[in-house]
Amino acid sequence: KAGVTQTPRYLIKTRGQQVTLSCSPISGHRSVSWYQQTPGQGLQFLFEYFSETQRNKGNFPGRFSGRQFSNSRSEMNVSTLELGDSALYLCASSHRPGQGATEAFFGQGTRLTVV
């Protein structure tokens, strides 16, 4: 069974540009969540999608957005990139959201560097 696939693995962008990251969840999983990991702030929740609907959103500016497609694949977009957006972006998929103690399976992440 394939795991969570994130593409690309590495990205270098310039300030002011925008970027789109992709996540393919485990087959059969309908919930996809995104997290940002930085040395200073640790792991922070960005948003969660289930059945193409955003169900929860973290405390990030509107430059961060996402969407989920009918096949459960998800993308996140960051517009007007800032140096502080440099981070490891992790995607997680789960099978039964909202039903307690359903573990999330993580991809290897996309390392975004903004220069």
Query: Would you tell me which residues interact with other proteins (CB under 8 A)?
Result: 4, 31, 33, 35, 42-45, 48, 50, 55-56, 58, 90, 92, 94, 97-109
Q: Distance between CA 60 and CA 36 in Å, rounded?
A: 10
d(CA 64, CA 11): 16
Using left for φ > 0, alpha for ψ between -120 and 50, and beta otherwise, residue 42 falls in left
**With helix as H, strand as E and coil as C, how does 72-110 read?**
CCEEEEECCCCHHHCEEEEEEEECCCCCCCCCCEECCCE
CB of 80 to other proteins, least distance (A): 25
CB of 60 or CB of 79, closer to other proteins: 60
Q: How far is the CB of 63 from other proteins (least distance, A)?
A: 20
Of 8 and 98, CB closest to other proteins: 98
- Identify which of residues 17 and 56 has a Cβ nearer to other proteins in the complex: 56
Instruction: Please identify, using beta-carbon distances, which residue of 66 and 107 lies nearer to other proteins.
Output: 107
